Amino acid sequence: MGRNTSEIRLSVHTDNEGVDGISWEADDALEPGMQQAKAMLLALWDAEKRNALRIDLWTKDMTVEDMNDFFFQTLLTMADTYKNATNNRDLMADIKIFAQEFAEKASRVERRRSQGA
C-alpha cells in the first residue's frame, strides 16, 4: 500500500491594526479553493520536547459572541478527539460537561455586557 500526502495551506493577512483575514485550503477539503475563516487554533505535539506548540489567531473584527461559539464548538470537538485517541469515555464526558458550563457562563456574561451592566 502506498503513502499519501495531503497539504493544508494557510494564509494570514495582516495590516497595522492586526489580523485582517485568514484563508486556507486543503487537498482533501470538501470544497475546493481558498476558504475564509475568522479564527484558527493550531496545536502541534512535539514528542521529543514533550510540549505543545500553538498558533492562535483571530481577525480584528471577530465578535466576542463568535469567539464564545468558536471555543464551545472547539471544546466539544476536542472531547470527541480525546475519546477517539484514548477510548476514555469518562474524561470525554467531563470535557463536554465543562464545554456546556463554559457556554452557559459565556452566554450570561455576553447578555449582561449587551444590557450595559
The chain-wide mean pLDDT, for the chain, equals 95
pLDDT at 114: 80
Q: Which of 4-8, 31-35, 85-89, 107-111 has the highest mean pLDDT?
A: 85-89
Given a contact cutoff of 8 angstroms between Cβ atoms, the answer to whether 63 and 70 are in contact is no
Say what percent of the chain tops pLDDT 90: 85
pLDDT at 117: 56
Tens digits of residue pLDDT in 10-23: 999 999 999 999 99
> Hey, is 78 helix, strand or coil?
helix
pLDDT at 16: 95
- Facing residues of 46 across strands? 51
Tens digits of residue pLDDT in 77-98: 999 999 999 999 999 999 999 9
For residue 56, give the amino acid letter.
Answer: D
Identify the H or E element spanning 53: strand 51-58
Tell me the CA distances in angstroms from 61 to 20, 22, 64, 67, 111, one per residue in order: 8, 12, 9, 11, 19
Sign for the CA dihedral angle at 58, 59, 64, 68 comes to: negative
Per-residue pLDDT for 58 more than 90? yes
Scanning 1-117, the segments in alpha helix (DSSP H) are 64-86, 89-114
Prediction pTM value: 0.87
Given a contact cutoff of 8 angstroms between Cβ atoms, the answer to whether 26 and 10 are in contact is no
Provide the phi-psi class of 97: left if phi over 0, else alpha when psi is between -120 and 50, else beta. Answer: alpha
